[in-house]
Amino acid sequence: MKKVVVLGSTGSIGTNALRIIEAFPSRFQATGLAVRRDYKQALEQAQRVGAAHVAIADEEMAAKCAAEAPAGIAVHSGEAGMSELAAAAGADVVLCAVVGIAGLRPVMAAAEAGIDIALATKEVLVAAGQPVTEACERHGARILPVDSEHSAILQCLAGQMPDARCRMPDAENQRSEVRRIVLTASGGPFRAKPDVDFDKVTIEEVLDHPSWDMGQKVTVDSATLMNKGLEIAEAHWLFHMPVDRIDVVVHPESIIHSMVEFVDGSVIAQMSVPDMRFAIQYALAYPERLEADLPRLDLPATGALHFDEPDTKRFPALALARDAATRGGTMPAVLNAANEIAVEKFLKGEIAFSRIWGLVEQVMSKHEVVDQPDIDAVTQADAWAREVAGEA
């Protein structure tokens, strides 16, 4: 029985994770849930799944929650509460599915406690890949990706190396057999609309993703292709792979979730219908596979699969993110923070879609990079970038 703590239990990944946990009552038990503000829904979920701990990031809401919580449910408050939840709830694995950099401290706390992390919040690795992976290595925690592309890569590598795990002790050995990683990208809602004016597209058009049903932040990132850029940095840290050996190919059907090319020229790809539950379940059950009632792949019904080069002229965010990952140090943290602010501004109607990557580039150009950053240097760079992006 694996005890699971879900950070971000009311979001798209979180609610799907609870569905999986409830579908396998003899395998998983949710022992702790964390949300930003919606404590009423968190308490409902906790009672439904039998979780004895909830954490509410917003301290005012946490106080209300503590007043309303039924006997038997402990309430943890604020960022500290999010960070102490995994240990308090006796977790074997922490699923982190909060939005953005808010996942950083709780993930570090889990790593330092030697607790495995099922990671949906890619921003944590983008911004703080070095300190987070070092903490995992030092304390024996694993990071299991809950991102369809990185789950695919892990699955491709698992066939190659029976003991495949992220941050493998024999990463040198593995890297020598891998020529490159190929991340697939759906291309987002504007791939097939070359005439769309990015100065004028509406929030509704941006949020109308053709193949994946996701939260708002990642859906906007998919439309700019920033998401794929963040995934380059994520793959770099998860699989010890140099940035220049991580390629991106556009694949609009989203059936192949990513590929690994080995030194002999063989390519292994992982396929399924696009549904996040595959990656969530694989991370929770890893290294096992559980028989599930998920939609099955019907290739004749699917028909042709297509592949294309990404258009970095139309979608400069992809190249910006690759540049930041290549530069390293605190630059990816700055890219990530500036992007979070830019996406927020776009979703509030304050800036045009086309301003998102311009704003990110502007903040990056002003940053003095700190190399080999520890967690404090990352946090400082993140705060600096938010301030500069907020004023830009």
Q: Does the protein bind Mg ion through residue 221 (CB under 5 A)? A: no
For the chain, how far is it from start to end, CA to CA, in angstroms?
Answer: 50
| Nearest C-alpha neighbor of 335 from the set 311, 314, 319 | 319
Span near Mg ion by CB under 5 A; candidates 88-96, 146-154, 277-285, 308-316: 146-154
- 239, 157 Cβ separation under 8 angstroms: yes
Span near Mg ion by CB under 5 A; candidates 9-17, 20-28, 55-63, 140-148: 140-148
- Complex with Mg ion: residue 73 or 117, whichever CB lies closer: 117
Give the C-alpha separation, 130 to 140, whole Å: 15
Out of 84, 116, 123, 149, the residue judged to bind Mg ion by CB under 5 A: 149
Please report how close the Cβ of residue 228 comes to Mg ion at its closest, in angstroms. 8
- Complex with Mg ion: residue 95 or 135, whichever CB lies closer: 95
Give the C-alpha separation, 159 to 164, whole Å: 8
Q: Which residue is nearest to Mg ion (CB)?
A: 147
Q: Does the protein bind Mg ion through residue 147 (CB under 5 A)? A: yes
- Complex with Mg ion: residue 108 or 235, whichever CB lies closer: 235
- Across the chain, the runs of DSSP E, i.e. the strands, are 2-7, 28-35, 53-56, 74-77, 93-96, 116-119, 143-145, 178-185, 246-250, 256-262, 267-271
Q: Does the protein bind Mg ion through residue 234 (CB under 5 A)? A: no
CB proximity list for 376: less than 8 A, separation 6 or greater? none
Give the C-alpha separation, 152 to 188, whole Å: 19
Please report how close the Cβ of residue 231 comes to Mg ion at its closest, in angstroms. 6
- Complex with Mg ion: residue 135 or 283, whichever CB lies closer: 283
Please report how close the Cβ of residue 149 comes to Mg ion at its closest, in angstroms. 5
Between helix 331-347 and helix 122-139 the angle, nearest 10°, is 140
- Complex with Mg ion: residue 83 or 258, whichever CB lies closer: 258
**Residues at the site binding Mg ion, with contacts judged by CB under 5 A:** 147-149
